[in-house]
Each structure stands twice: as C-alpha cells, then as structure tokens.
C-alpha cells in the first residue's frame, strides 16, 4: 500500500506542503476504510449483531403492544391466502431464537402447506383411528370424527400452513436435560412464532394441542410418519393464515397484581 502511495505521488507536482497534505488525506482515507471493514467483519462474525445496537431495538411500548396484540385466531376466521416463503422463513428464524438450556435447541417443526398435503395429514390421522378403533372408547371415536369432519373442510380451504410442533428428546448426544426444560424451550419457540406472525399485518394463527386426536398424536406410528424417534414428543400444530377481511378480535386479562407476590422493597 505504501509503495502505491509513493508511486502516486511521483506524478504529483507542486510544493512540498501540498504533497504532505495529500499524503495525510490518503492515509486518513485508508484508515477510515480499514476501520469500516473491521466493523463489518465483526458484525458478520456475530451473526449480524444479535444483541446489537440498542438504538435499533423496539421501545418498551412497541414490545408490550406486540405482546398484547397477539391473538389465537381459528381456521374459520382465515381466508385461504398463502404466506410467502420469505415470511415463512422469517417465522422459523424467530422460532429458532427461543431460549434453550445448554443450547440443546430441542424444537422441531414439520411445515405442511397446500390443500392436498393438509388432506394427506388429516387422512393419516383418520386411518390411524380406523385401524385402532377396537382399542378406543366410543367417546374417543365420536370426538375424533366430529373434529375431523370439521377440519377436513376448513383447513385445506382456509389455512396457509400447518407447523407440526415437535420436540427432540435427545437433541444433543452427550446431554439429556429434564423433559420439562425441553418442553418449555419448545413452547417458547412457538410463542416466538406467534409474536413474529402478529408483526405481519393481517396474519394470525393459533396453537392446536391436538387433544381431539391425542391417541394418534402420541403414537409410535405418528412419530414415524413425521420422521421422529420414538422418545420424541409431538405437541400439536401451529395453524396460520391470512385473516379474513372485516374480522376483529379482542381479549382481556386480569390484573397482573392478582397473580404476583411481591417480596421486594418497592412500594
């Protein structure tokens, strides 16, 4: 770099003071470029600044408004519009930044979209219940049949995606954490999806625990169908889509003071 500067100055005529000033300007410019390059390298190495500049963070009111705006929106209130691949990636990126003890990252998802794929999913559940009818009560079968017929008409027509919520029980080969910790991490991942979805204007969804098909949900065959191991868990599906025009939703919560015991010096 220094040889290049000296070669450049050989072609510069004028007083010595002018040449010295030019050297100063070039050196300053090189130093500034190198500093920018160093900042860019550090930013890329840190994953784009996760934790980054505080001025880029939403303020307290914005965060609380997002949380309080989140709603559970059922398939009957969706209109069938399909979420873009870019926005789906955004939701799954949000899901991937859930808190995780020992960084096991146990959450797993099976993303299903398209009318036929959703029908295939529901038909697998129907086949399972038909095959295992003898081991189930008539009440179990009735509950499944009623819900199945309802979802068979609603989901393919109204929903954009179903994200089947799974948990890898042994996410790392050398660590087996208490199951409740891994369940909590997975639940936090789902909450991240729901909050990120709330930030997309006009989109919504809800977490179906799949209680209506719980016998199939917890079966070995269902885990094999999803590509899971026998010890893994399934916690239902997050169903999402575009909210039908004109739909409005509201909710309430009791005051937090009724649910918290304060043992502090704060008055």
Nearest CA among 6, 192, 215, 225 for reference residue 98: 192
Domain ranges of the chain: 2-45, 59-242
The tens digit of pLDDT for each residue in 12-32 reads 555 666 556 556 656 666 665
Q: Is the pLDDT of residue 40 over 50?
A: no
How is residue 187 written in tokens? 């639940």
CATH superfamily of the 59-242 domain? NADH Oxidase (3.40.109.10)
How is residue 15 written in tokens? 């007083």
Integer angstrom CA distances of residue 177 from 4, 106, 182, 186, 190: 59, 10, 7, 13, 19
Per-residue pLDDT at 46: 47
How is residue 17 written in tokens? 């003071």
The tens digit of pLDDT for each residue in 59-107 reads 999 999 999 999 999 999 999 999 999 999 999 999 999 999 999 999 9
Half-sphere exposure of 200 (CA within 13 A, CB side): 21
Per-residue pLDDT at 39: 52
What pTM does this model have?
A: 0.79
DSSP per-residue letters across 189-234? HHHHHHHHHHTSTTEEEEEE--GGGHHHHTSHHHHHHHT--TT-EE
């Amino acid at each position: 770099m220094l040889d290049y500067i000296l070669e450049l100055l050989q072609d510069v005529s004028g007083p010595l003071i002018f040449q010295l000033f030019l050297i100063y300007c070039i050196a300053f410019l090189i130093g500034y470029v190198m500093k920018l390059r160093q900042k860019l390298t550090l930013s890329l190495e840190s994953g784009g600044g996760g934790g980054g500049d505080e001025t880029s963070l939403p303020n307290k009111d914005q965060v609380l408004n997002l949380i309080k705006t989140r709603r559970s929106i059922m398939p009957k209130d969706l209109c069938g519009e399909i979420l873009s691949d870019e926005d789906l990636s955004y939701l799954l990126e949000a899901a991937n930044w859930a808190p995780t003890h020992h960084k096991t990252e146990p959450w797993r998802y099976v993303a299903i979209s398209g009318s036929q794929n959703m029908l295939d999913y529901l038909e697998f559940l129907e086949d399972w219940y038909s095959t295992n009818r003898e081991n189930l009560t008539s009440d179990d079968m009735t509950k499944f049949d009623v819900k199945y017929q309802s979802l068979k008409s609603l989901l393919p027509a109204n929903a954009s995606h179903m994200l089947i919520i799974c948990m890898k029980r042994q996410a790392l080969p050398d660590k087996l954490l208490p199951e409740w910790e891994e369940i909590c991490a997975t639940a936090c991942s789902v909450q991240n999806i729901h909050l990120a979805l709330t930030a997309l204007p006009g989109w919504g969804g809800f977490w179906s625990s799949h209680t209506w098909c719980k016998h199939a949900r917890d079966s070995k065959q269902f885990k094999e169908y999803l590509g899971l191991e026998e010890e893994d868990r399934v916690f239902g599906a997050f169903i999402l889509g575009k909210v039908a025009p004109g739909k409005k939703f509201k909710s309430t919560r009791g005051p937090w003071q009724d649910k918290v015991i304060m043992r502090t010096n704060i008055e």
